[in-house]
A and B are shown apart, each in its own frame.
Chain A
């Protein structure tokens, strides 16, 4: 058993070990196919013509190829009364997600800095209250938000959604940043304070340079969540002010019309693309954000 020094569960017996490994790979590949199948089908259908799709079904090897459906989905297809494709709604999403992500992340970083490095009597309780926002179900706040948005004159506007996502996101961003900054040694802050550095100076010169990892996680988390958010967007926006998630429902959910599966596939992919790209390029951070957001 000299070889057993490295932990290798499947090396315990010769031939059985190799067969077991084959089974492991077979199962993993099977699951991988199940996970990839829907995505592959949508990609393929975004290039096929409608005749091909209706003859051979959605799940089929493509017999035709055209990039035209992407163009149509982007800027020609009719959604909710306008025939400019998914493009204006995509821009609405961008106009919503960029300010909301930046503002909520910036405020979260400052809050986290205060709640970890400038504690005062009662600050732990205040932190507890702030984290309660994480668990608040959207349905509980729909009617109050409707009234508040009306009062502020932000009904059916991108600005209204930005406000909602900033307030709602504060709990998450504060939680993330506070839990990260707690691990910065207090001595660093103390030394800076003895040197006469102010609150803001310490934040800029000491805390911020140590922050990139948590800022990346927070930005990814906020961006993906706000981009994919549906409930608030669905209820508080209509017509030309809708973000892309809502427009997708209007585009593909409309019951009676004949489905243009190719254009709809392209539109669905366009709507899913920004968070997917973030996931592919920032996967490591994405996962960290998920586990932190979910388990805290």
Chain B
């Protein structure tokens, strides 16, 4: 490495000529060490993205073909029934998942924040699903939702023979089993984020309100929850990211079925690229996922930067 770098050490300025070679080399060590990572990330982020965009505009079928086809595959994608189902599912799933997870997560955080005993135990229990892969979670919940083995079978066993809970195999309802599983997996995580927020609220504010005779629900509504407002937005952004990337849960629970009713965009990208050999259309669908992420992350980044600047200027 030292031989390489010595060959392109700059020798232009007088001051650097006077310094020993070793010292001059040492000033560029950081850049040299960083360079491979930068190249790798640059390729990963920009070259790969550009590559996928190019494929989406090309005539690629089951093999890459880089001749230009224009936006034809995007047009095909948006008239495709399965894609329309996939993005309808994405909206349905995202809204229910984000709202459900936040409601349960916040409720758990508020309950845990009531100076209870065994707090660490409860926290450990609520959070463990996050250590487990979506595949494991999805597989287990598939068994539980399956009418022949799970909850319905258990209730039948108990003697209520007409009980029905077969959402997993109903076209219209299967997506809700994925929503419930998603909420189960993420609400402990959201609880932890909210709990950290609740504990960062200035206790003097709360004491003052208590002395003024405010009731606890009122204190939560008027003081505590507004104070952790930014956390709501951060949590929602994180969850929306999870929702947009949802892939494994569907694979493990329904494989997109019954029929095509629970297909999500990420699953459809996979199908187009690796099952049907429609690389260009698959790439176009992948770019739609990127666009969806950008629609959430870009405004969020701008908002956090603005807020930080405002806080900095306030001193």
Q: Is the CB of B216 within 8 A of A279?
A: no
Measured in the bound complex, the distance between the Cα atoms of B150 and A58 in whole Å is 6
Measured in the bound complex, the distance between the Cα atoms of B286 and A42 in whole Å is 35
Select A137's contact among B104, B255, B290, beta carbons within 8 Å.
Answer: B290
Contacts A137-B244, A228-B132 known; A38 to B141 CB distance under 8 Å?
A: yes
Task: Report the interface size class on chain B.
Answer: 35 or more
Closest to B154 in A: A59
Q: Is the CB of A1 within 8 A of B44?
A: no
Mark the stretch among A62-70, A165-173, A207-215 that contacts chain B: A165-173
Instruction: Tell yes or no: A35 within 8 A of B by CB.
Output: yes
Contacts A5-B207, A253-B255 known; A139 to B266 CB distance under 8 Å?
A: yes
Instruction: Indicate the member of A110, A115, A138, A200 with the most B CB atoms within 10 Å.
Output: A138
Instruction: Tell yes or no: B67 within 8 A of A by CB.
Output: no
Q: Is the CB of A287 within 8 A of B192?
A: yes
Measured in the bound complex, the distance between the Cα atoms of B196 and A264 in whole Å is 38
Contacts A35-B128, A168-B44 known; A118 to B193 CB distance under 8 Å?
A: no
Measured in the bound complex, the distance between the Cα atoms of B47 and A143 in whole Å is 12
Residues of B within 8 A of A272 (CB): 131-133, 136
Select A60's contact among B29, B154, B266, beta carbons within 8 Å.
Answer: B154
Task: Report the interface size class on chain A.
Answer: 35 or more
Least CB distance, A89 to chain B, in whole angstroms: 12
Select B26's contact among A147, A171, A199, A230, beta carbons within 8 Å.
Answer: A199
Measured in the bound complex, the distance between the Cα atoms of B294 and A140 in whole Å is 13
Q: Contact string, A247-279, partner B, CB cutoff 8 A, digits 1/0?
A: 011001100000101001000100110011011
Instruction: Indicate the member of B124, B128, B189, B289 with the most A CB atoms within 10 Å.
Output: B128
Q: Is the CB of B37 within 8 A of A142?
A: no
Least CB distance, B295 to chain A, in whole angstroms: 12
Contacts A111-B34, A291-B196 known; A27 to B111 CB distance under 8 Å?
A: yes
Select B49's contact among A1, A136, A138, beta carbons within 8 Å.
Answer: A136
Residues of A within 8 A of B64 (CB): 143, 147
B binding-site residues for A, Cβ under 8 Å = 26, 29-31, 33-34, 37-38, 40-42, 44-45, 47-49, 51-52, 55, 64, 104, 107-108, 111-116, 122, 124-137, 139-141, 143-144, 149-151, 153-154, 156-157, 184, 188-189, 192-193, 196, 203, 206-207, 210-211, 215-216, 219, 234, 238, 241, 244-245, 247-248, 251-252, 255, 266, 269-270, 273-274, 279, 282-283, 285-287, 289-290, 293, 297
